[in-house]
Structure 1
């Protein structure tokens, strides 16, 4: 198997708006994450079904083409709400979901990577999402009790059977991604890890993704809200007629061409604010100031 060639070099002035996951699945780089459609601890539902439907449909109206969800959000709730709101899916709308984590309560969850369980979880997601094939299916965690080759092999079998189009990994290190690539069992189209302006511990992983043309979907792209009040973000935001949150998201879009943030929210106003970050054009000086901010170890 040949790994994808690197994406062409990116200059932040160009501010490309799209990325091709797996080289053949174009998405707008700012998407929408569905974790806030569920309650605290990803348990149960947040708000009403009508509110969730309106929010998801508004996201698509505003141009979102990548909706990120997971079977354990709720559990099941987020996937069911996505299907209720958006099925039949518009052409070009990519639904990404995850399996491999079982949520037992709002306070407890466990990893489940046995091949038979991964296959069952994928089949259940297909039913909830009303899909014949999932465009991007991400392994939510590697199970330390199951050989990596067995877990990747299960995903390859699902891909070979036409159940999923592309495979991704969630919460991995650069070393784990490199090992998965070296095993060469199934192409890796994406990773999903914690990463934001002030939390760049995953920078080596990001560089590896860049080298292989792998999409990087950062979670906590706004630091769980902490970046909204950052003074440097606020100062740059004022110069652009933007908000600090928009600057933090714009930095991600300018920092690397493979970063595809999917910020989540349960608020229509915050949704529009987040997606407005795609219109912000940061200058070289803006980027220099933001790049220099203290990075959380």
Structure 2
């Protein structure tokens, strides 16, 4: 018997809820503070001297963590937010580190150990459009709130930094042309009281791969004046192939709708769902 499309979509969402590291709040997140406890915005880096011919994509990944995040528990091997090598969003097969290292479109340049909060940084360069760099930071899963705040501070231009890659200085955080957040939607568990008002008048593109990210990120993202190229309207699995294929369209200067379509096609392929269902999950614009 053929199952109606609407029923199939409901079943698909139910499957996501119990199979993936999704968004059922357990109220267990433990918050650290990388910038201190008072007048936080005054301590943000704001360095913007870099090669303006370069285009940086800065990806902030909150590692999956059963203990400190309000998620439906995932297998122990891939849920340790203090172990990037095995983590679902980083070292696992469809994690950012593993997937992009295998990509023919991106050349892996180097890895850096940062600190106890940002556990690892990866730097890639596009193989054909060599002025494009991708920098990905793995945040300890305990510090998902820091990762979320850094994303908003970067999107608003309040937080800026640079990185030397060989003899070239590239922009990070608010100096990046595109910001991406990947991980659990922590805004379902906690609220942010900081101001993320745009500081420099620039509009930055962003991709937010987390459950219901359009609903929960919208109020603060509006303050930043960022342009959401891809974000989500339902439960979903924030795996690296979505970002990878969306970036192909971005680097080719495609429209938001074309970029979203690439992301949805990748999601449909790997999640074995219809393209229509994938497009219902991955959306673009306001």
Question: What range is the shorter-chain TM-score in?
Answer: 0.3 to 0.5
Question: Whose strand fraction is larger, Structure 1's or Structure 2's?
Answer: 2
Q: TM-score, normalised by structure 1?
A: 0.34
Q: TM-score, normalised by structure 2?
A: 0.34
Question: Whose helix fraction is larger, Structure 1's or Structure 2's?
Answer: 1
